[in-house]
Amino acid sequence: MYDLTNRKVVYSLCDEFGFRFKKAFGQNFLTDASVLRAIAEAAGEHGVLEIGPGFGTLTGYLAENAEKVVAVELDRALFPVLEKTLGEYDNVSVREGDVMKIDLPTLLKEEFDGQEVSVAANLPYYITTPIITRLLEEKLPIRALVLMMQKEVADRILADPGTKDYGALSLFVRYYADASLLVSVPKESFVPAPKVDSAVLVLMRREVPPVSPIDEKLFFGLIRAGFAQRRKTFVNAASSAGLPGVTKEGVAKALCALEIDEKVRGEVLSIEQYCEIANFLLKN
Ligand code: SAM
C-alpha cells in the first residue's frame, strides 16, 4: 500500500507523473491517517461510492475496510496515478465523470445492485453544497454520507434555530438525514493546505422525514424565502417570494392560528413550524 499520508510520497508522485494540483477542482489531498481511518470505518464494510479519489489516499483506506469501492473522478490527469496507487486492490474501480452530471441511479444499480451503499468523500470545496443537495434530494439508495467539507458549511448544517449559522441548508439536510460531527480537521492536514479548516460529517439518511409536508415544494419554498431576506419579518419575506398562492394575509393567518408571533423572522422558525405553516396554507 502506498503511504499517501507521507507528503514526500505525494510530491514524488507529482514529479513522476508531471501532476500539478488544480485549485479549480478543489484538489487538497488528505494526509492524516487517523481521519482517513475514521472516514473508512464510518462508511462501513459493504459498498462505498467515493467522490473524487485524487491520488487514491482515502480510496485505499476504504478498500481495506469495504467489500467494494467505486470512485468517480473528474480530472483525467489523475488516472495514470490511480492505476499505480490502487493497482493492488481488486475491489476498487475508478470511473471518469462529473459527480454533478453522472447518472447516479444507473451507476448505483450497475455497481451495487442490492448491496448496502455509503458515499464517502473529501469533497471538492467548490461544489460542496450542490453535491450534498443532489445526493439527498434525488432520494438515492444510499444509507449514509460521510463527507469532509469546509468547517463553515459543517457548522451551517449542524446549526440550531436562532443561531447565526442556522439557515436553509440546516433545514434541508435535517429533512433528509440525521447529521453528526465525526471529526474536525485542521487545514494543515491537507496537501496543499486550503485556506480554511474542515470537518467530517456523517449524514445518516432518514427512512422517514421528521415532518410531513403535504407539498414539499411549498415547504422548501417557504424555507428559502424565510432565510433569503433575514431582516424581513417572515410574513413579508414569505409573501414577497413569488410562491404561488402565498399572500401576506394567508401567512399572517397561519402564524396567528399556530400561535407564532406575527413579527417572527424566518431564522428562528423550526423545521416543525415551517411544515405547520406550509400545511396550514394549503388547507386554508
Ligand atoms: N479523495 C482525495 C483525498 O482525500 O486526498 C482527493 C480529495 S480532493 C479534496 C477532491 C477530488 O475531487 C479531486 O480529486 C478532484 O479532482 C475531484 N473532483 C473535483 N470536482 C469533481 C467532480 N465534479 N466530480 C468528480 N470528482 C471531482
Q: What is the pLDDT of residues 140-186, one digit of tens each?
A: 999 999 999 999 999 999 999 989 999 999 999 999 999 999 999 99
Best residue for ligand 1 mutational test, from 10, 75, 129 (most atoms within 8 Å of Cβ): 75
Amino acid found at 25 = F
> Which residues have C-beta atoms less than 6 Å from ligand 1?
25-30, 51-54, 57-58, 72-75, 78, 98-100, 122, 124, 127
Ligand 1 atom 14 nearest Cα: 54
Burial of 39 (0-12, 13-18, 19+ CB in 10 A): buried
Class of domain 216-283: mainly alpha
Closest ligand 1 atom to 101 CA: 23
Whether pLDDT at 83 is above 80: yes
Residue with cell 445492485: 113
Q: What's the mean pLDDT when you consider all of the chain?
A: 96
pLDDT at position 231: 86
Q: pLDDT (tens digit, 9 = 90+) per residue, 68-80?
A: 999 999 999 999 9
Closest listed residue to residue 264, CA positions, set 222, 242, 231, 239? 231
Q: Can you give the C-alpha Rg of the chain in angstroms? A: 21
Query: Angle formed by the axes of helices 168-176 and 216-228, to 10°?
Result: 150
Best residue for ligand 1 mutational test, from 27, 185, 190 (most atoms within 8 Å of Cβ): 27
Distance 43 CA to ligand 1 centre (A): 17
Ranges of CATH 1.10.8.100 domains, the chain: 216-283
Ligand 1 atom 18 nearest Cα: 52
pLDDT at position 284: 87
Prediction pTM value: 0.96
CATH no. for 7-205: 3.40.50.150
Whether pLDDT at 230 is above 90: no
Distance, in Å, from the CA atom of 211 to the CA atom of 209, rounded to the nearest integer, reads 5
Ranges of CATH 3.40.50.150 domains, the chain: 7-205
Helix H or strand E encompassing 107? helix 104-112
Distance 124 CA to ligand 1 centre (A): 5
pLDDT at position 139: 84
Instruction: Tell me what percent of the residues of the chain surpass a pLDDT of 90.
Output: 96
Best residue for ligand 1 mutational test, from 9, 122, 132, 197 (most atoms within 8 Å of Cβ): 122
